[in-house]
Amino acid sequence: MRVLWTPEALQDRIDIWDYIANDNPLAAVHMDELFSDSANRLAEHPKLGRAGKVPGTRELVAHEHYRLVYEINNETVWVLTLIHTARLWPQARS
């Protein structure tokens, strides 16, 4: 399978990089490598994560504070978002 990041997930990744790199650039590099490694494992094992909170999605903990939310569509794993575990996912409806 191939793994693709949605534009939203890529933006999440950039935002996390920027936030961490502001204090510790080496930590940002390490965290981004964890994200890449986790996503790459999904190419071989797409059901590695648990069933997601949103029907049709799955979630993989990439780091104790971050999880990848993804869906499997035919031969593609789509990373939908990269979210801090303290953030509400999915967002509550008003």
Cα distance between residue 13 and residue 53, in whole Å: 21
Report pTM: 0.88
Token pair recorded at residue 23: 């204090």
Cα distance between residue 23 and residue 20, in whole Å: 6
pLDDT digits (tens, 9 = 90+) for 36-63: 999 999 999 999 999 998 899 999 999 8
Cα distance between residue 57 and residue 22, in whole Å: 32
Burial readout 19-41 (b: 16 or more C-beta within 10 A, e: otherwise): ebeeeeeeebeebbeebeebbee
Orientation angle between helical segments 25-44 and 7-23, nearest 10 degrees: 150
What local confidence, expressed as pLDDT, does residue 76 receive?
97
The pLDDT-based confidence of 86 (bands split at 50, 70, 90) is confident
DSSP 87: S
